[in-house]
């Protein structure tokens, strides 16, 4: 039987992640409070940010930006798409 969590992002109970997705306290917080579905939504948003801002995941400034955006996205701090972004399916 899959593990369930009260997902902070979705606002309902949902299937939890199988493992901690990020190191440290933030990873544990995500594991305890974020569902698989919400994590997949974040991964899509993160990919869009990397592509739109042309970020390099090995650049420390880019990594800090992505961590800040991850916290905003998953825990309600108001993450948004870049100004002028048009989704490919729109």
- CATH number of the CATH domain containing 29: 1.10.3880.10
In a domain, 88, yes or no: no
In a domain, 90, yes or no: no
pLDDT tens readout for residues 44-90: 999 999 999 999 989 999 999 999 999 999 998 777 777 777 777 75
Q: Could you tell me the pLDDT band of residue 1, with boundaries at 50, 70 and 90? A: confident
Q: Could you tell me the pLDDT band of residue 7, with boundaries at 50, 70 and 90? A: very high
In a domain, 80, yes or no: no
Read out DSSP for 13-48?
EEEBPSS--SSHHHHHHHHHH-BHHHHHHHHHHHHH
In a domain, 28, yes or no: yes
* Number of domains the chain is built from: 1
| Structural domain range at position 60 | 4-75
* pLDDT at 67 (0 to 100): 95
In a domain, 89, yes or no: no
In a domain, 81, yes or no: no
In a domain, 21, yes or no: yes
- Residue 12's SS3 state is strand
* pLDDT at 22 (0 to 100): 95
* pLDDT at 90 (0 to 100): 56
* pLDDT at 78 (0 to 100): 76
In a domain, 19, yes or no: yes
């Amino acid at each position: 039987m899959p593990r369930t969590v009260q997902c902070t992002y979705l606002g309902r109970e949902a299937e939890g992640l199988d493992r901690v997705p990020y190191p440290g306290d933030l990873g544990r917080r995500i594991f305890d409070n974020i569902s698989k579905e919400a994590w997949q939504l974040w991964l899509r948003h993160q990919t869009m940010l990397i592509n739109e801002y042309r970020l390099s995941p090995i650049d420390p400034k880019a990594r800090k930006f992505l961590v800040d955006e991850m916290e905003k996205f998953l825990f309600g701090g108001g993450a948004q798409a870049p100004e002028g972004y048009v989704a490919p399916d729109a």
